Amino acid sequence: MQVGGPFWDVPLGRRDSLGASIQGSNQGIPAPNNTLPTIITKFKRLGLNVVDVVALSGGHTIGLSRCTSFRQRLYNQSGNGLADGTLDVSFAAQLRQGCPRSGGDDNLFPLDVVSSTKFDNYYFKNILAGRGLLSSDEVLLTKSAETAALVKTYANDVHLFFQHFAQSMVNMGNITPLTGSQGEIRKNCRRLNNFH
């Protein structure tokens, strides 16, 4: 299924790892409840900037999230037993129907409630309407004037979002590339060269 979205040139000749490590790959990825300074720091450690943070977060326009990744927003965001005040009240009520206070950890919800199978800028429009699913989505609007300006810009200009997302994907692809005899240049990017 094609979801649409931007295109970009992927540099050829990259060396890919011969193995995968979920622990290694999750090490530097921001968690859904990280603060904005933590998220920005994790990106900056990899040579990425604030535009990359917001543009790449726009990848949440497709896909799903588990209840356990956003439950705190529904029931105890600030430790006071109440829902996150930035979350649209009707949206929070809708989410609570499938994400109870306990249990249902693996229940899935679209990251973009409007168009979860289409790569577009509704993710940003949802944030502006108080319908961003993850805390890490909401803080882009509420915790920094710089990131909030980008959220508003991308909500209004899908072409600029696509342009920035494509460049940020290239930037992310250039993080600590393998060199020399490390890894391999894949003949088919979906599997190891010697995989049968």
| pLDDT bracket for residue 86 (50, 70, 90) | very high
Residue 138 CB partners (closer than 8 Å, separation 6+):
73, 84, 86, 87, 127, 132
Tell me the Cα Rg of the chain.
Answer: 18
- The residues with which 110 forms a beta bridge, in sequence order, are 64
DSSP state of 64: E
Instruction: Give SS3 for 89.
Output: helix
Instruction: Classify the C-alpha dihedral 53-56-60-65 as positive or negative.
Output: negative
Please, what are the domains in the chain? 35-174 (1.10.420.10)
Residue found by looking up tokens 């915790």 in the block: 143
30 known member of a binding site = yes
Q: Is 6:110 a contact under the CB 8 Å cutoff?
A: no
Instruction: Find the mean pLDDT for residues 66-90.
Output: 92
Q: Is 153:121 a contact under the CB 8 Å cutoff?
A: no
Q: What is the mean pLDDT of the chain?
A: 92
In this prediction the pTM is: 0.91
157 known member of a binding site = no
| pLDDT bracket for residue 196 (50, 70, 90) | low
Residue 60 vs residue 174, higher pLDDT: 60
Predicted pLDDT of residue 2: 84
DSSP state of 88: -
What are the C-alpha distances in Å from 36 to residues 29, 56, 136, 148?
A: 13, 14, 7, 11
Instruction: Find the mean pLDDT for residues 12-30.
Output: 81
16 known member of a binding site = no
Predicted pLDDT of residue 159: 98
41 known member of a binding site = no
Would you say how long the chain is, in residues? 196
DSSP state of 184: B
Tell me the CA end-to-end span of the chain in Å, nearest whole number.
26
88 known member of a binding site = no
Report which of 11, 34, 1 is spatially closest to residue 166, judged by C-alpha positions: 11
Instruction: Find the mean pLDDT for residues 155-183.
Output: 93
Tell me the two tokens of residue 139: 């803080």
Residue 13 CB partners (closer than 8 Å, separation 6+):
185
CB atoms within 10 A of CB 2: 7
